[in-house]
Structure 1
Amino acid sequence: MADQDGEKRFSASESRRQKAREQGQVVRSQDLASAALLLAALAVIGYFGRPMVADVAEVLAKSLADSEVEAFTIESASSLLTQTGYFTLMAVGPIMVCMFICAILVNILQTGPMLLPDKLMPKFSNISPMQGIKRLLALPNFMRLGFGIFKLAVISVVAAICLYHWYEAVLAVSQFGVAAVAKVIFDATFFTCLWIGGALFVLAAFDFAFQWWKHEQDLMMTEQEMRDEMKESQGDPQVIARRRQVQRQLAMQRMQSDVPNSDVIVTNPTELAIAIKYDPQTMAAPIVSAKGAGLLAQKIRRMGLEHGIAIVERKPLAQALYKNVEVGHPVPSEQYQAVAEVLRYVYQLEGRAMPDAA
């Protein structure tokens, strides 16, 4: 029995998931974020990069050619650095902005908006040498190491295939101008990185699926944890059972005092029993003094017979009153006519006059 209590066999409850989220325990794949950033950067480079690289190459070639003719001075060096820096900034700026936006979006898509002030507080356990050694030797770290080696192998194979494909093109263009060489080198580098990014994204998708599975396994609950959570959210089951028992006893005592004072008991005929009382001097409408189903209905019928209360079978009325009216509440206007007919019938049987409303 102890082994069964300690086994995680139950899916995580919403409360447990919320607590885990508040502690920062969410499904997150760093590899997926890295692959998305790489592909986003490549998308911007593919749109802006080729003409920008050609312009930078032309500026460098022109500047170097001019430097051979003119004397190298501080002014010429400053001009060269300014031009090169400008074109470099224009090339790198859009990439950095895109990567910044993409980094935010990828993390939001993975985890949703999160604000965890506790994570900003320093924890001395994180700088403890012993804790660091334990974390280093933990099984998840060895799994990450193995996955990292596998990723490196995949990247190496993809890069080797791409470079082999572009090898002859790079050699053939070397005899042309600087712009042509820069274009071919850019294309070779871009498409190599694109293939690497695609491979990393596929691996990251598997990593995200694994992280989701591991997260679900970590949140699984034992039977004891389920009991403890029910106690926290709903209270001790023993206390709840005792409270319900007391409520049933009070309801039974009230029924024993109210049924004998009722005017009629409407039945279904055996499944339901509803006791109705009407005093026009104190009540605006008839009220349901007691109701029950099954064994409780039989008890109400038995008490009615013992105290001489009329029992009338009206199936639709009994069902409507049992479903829609609580004990002690007045009969709704939709049932006024049906209840009035039952009361009139009972008064006629007992030789009493129908009381007039006050």
Structure 2
Amino acid sequence: MKKYPFKLQLQYFADEKTEKATPKKRQDTRKKGQVAKSTDVNTAIILLLVFLCFWFFGSYFGNSLANMMKHTFQTYLLSSVNEPFIETMFTELLLQAALTFAPIMLVAMVAGVFASYIQVGPLFAPEALKMKLSKLNPIQGAKRIFSIRAIVELLKSLLKISLAGVTVFTIIWFNLEDVMLLSQKSVTSGLNLIGQLTALLGIAVAILLLILAVPDYIYQKYDHEKQIRMSKKDVKDEHKNIEGDPRIKSKRKQKQMEMAMQRMMQEVPKADVVITNPTHFAIALRYDESVSDAPIVIAKGVDYIAQKIKGIALDHDVITVENKPLARALYMQTEIGDQVPEALFKSVAEVLAYVYRLKTN
């Protein structure tokens, strides 16, 4: 057995389609028109509804065709042939044919839409209508013709043709006596019999195809799920695309921190006091009794940021007070925008009182 390097084996297993498709992959394939759908379901439902229409409204179609033929023989054959007559005749025949067969076309259209809807739901995929030159590739076409899927479709077609042939033969066999007596019946009776047999044959074949369409739809669903499977690498790449590249996320987070730091530093000049420990911590407090009941932390930092806060405070004549325990407690117990905890009210009040005395002197 040929052995491959570990790296190639690892890549093979990473690219193997073993994972179920993610919701995003399903949505993307759906937009492309790639859905689990059986054409047999569409064919069976269309045939069934159309032949049921013939069964229930066959007399209407027969009478319409009979009237059209009667009008043709009684009127058109006795008229002189010229250009206006041909135009009039063509228009009348076309209108009568449209009125006769429009209900059948409407039923077929509704049946097709209904059959597609119950399989895939509401779907509009214009991307599936785009012309792709790759579909004209003879090599790819040959692969599709001689693929496992093509063999399955061939076997399905042979099975359907065989069963449909048996069904038609059986129905005709049971009605063979009536068929043999057609030559002795009137035209009207013969046409009625032929119409009834045709509708019966159509309904029977449609029901047969509908029964065969159930396992076909199950197979199409299974095959579709197999086609859209993903490898572990595909899942990771999709997650990375959704969440963003870690390096980009890190840069974005760093940029957000820089902007937040800049806004915080802009608030330092508005502080009433900066409490330090004095080298590691710095907390800027502001008290406005019209806004809050207690002083608010508008900036805080440790080490480099603490030194920067103290530098800005010095540049804008904000009083700095050294109180190691209070500075550490405020840094640990508060976030920017928080009010001073009630447990620290007394210590902060003493500091602010000291600051106000300095400002008034």
TM range (shorter): 0.5 to 0.7
**Separation in 2 of the partners of 1:239 and 1:84?**
71
Q: Does 2:291 match 1:280?
A: no
Q: Does 2:78 match 1:75?
A: yes
Q: Does 2:317 match 1:307?
A: no
C-alpha change, 1:346 and 1:169, in structure 2 (3 Å) is farther
For 1:46, the equivalent position in structure 2 comes to 55
For 2:123, the equivalent position in structure 1 comes to 113
**Separation in 1 of the partners of 2:102 and 2:201?**
22
Amino acid at match of 1:279: R
Measured after TM superposition, the shift of residue 148 of structure 1 is 1.0
Instruction: Find 1:19's aligned residue among 28, 44, 53.
Output: 28
C-alpha change, 1:204 and 1:307, in structure 2 (3 Å) is same
Q: Does 2:336 match 1:328?
A: yes
For 2:222, the equivalent position in structure 1 comes to 213
**Separation in 2 of the partners of 1:182 and 1:84?**
21
**Separation in 2 of the partners of 1:139 and 1:77?**
63
TM normalised by structure 2 equals 0.62
**Separation in 2 of the partners of 1:118 and 1:168?**
51
C-alpha change, 1:201 and 1:226, in structure 2 (3 Å) is same
**Separation in 1 of the partners of 2:64 and 2:234?**
65
Amino acid at match of 2:175: W
Measured after TM superposition, the shift of residue 152 of structure 1 is 1.0
Spell out the pairing of 1:1-358 with structure 2 (5 A cutoff): 1-53=10-62, 56=65, 74-75=77-78, 89-109=98-118, 110=120, 112-116=122-126, 119-121=129-131, 123=133, 125-171=134-180, 175-237=184-246, 240=249, 279-281=286-288, 284-285=291-292, 286-287=295-296, 307-308=325-326, 327-330=335-338, 342-344=343-345
Amino acid at match of 2:17: K
Amino acid at match of 2:130: L
C-alpha change, 1:177 and 1:310, in structure 2 (3 Å) is same
**Separation in 1 of the partners of 2:275 and 2:210?**
76
For 2:319, the equivalent position in structure 1 comes to none
**Separation in 2 of the partners of 1:148 and 1:236?**
49
Measured after TM superposition, the shift of residue 237 of structure 1 is 3.6
Amino acid at match of 1:130: I
Show structure 2 runs of 5+ residues with no match: 1-9, 265-273, 277-282, 301-322, 357-361
Identical amino acids, percent of aligned pairs: 23
Give the match's secondary structure for 1:204.
helix
C-alpha change, 1:230 and 1:199, in structure 2 (3 Å) is same
**Separation in 1 of the partners of 2:153 and 2:211?**
16
The question of whether the paired residues in 2 share the 8 Å contact of 1:27 and 1:111 is answered with no
**Separation in 2 of the partners of 1:130 and 1:347?**
82
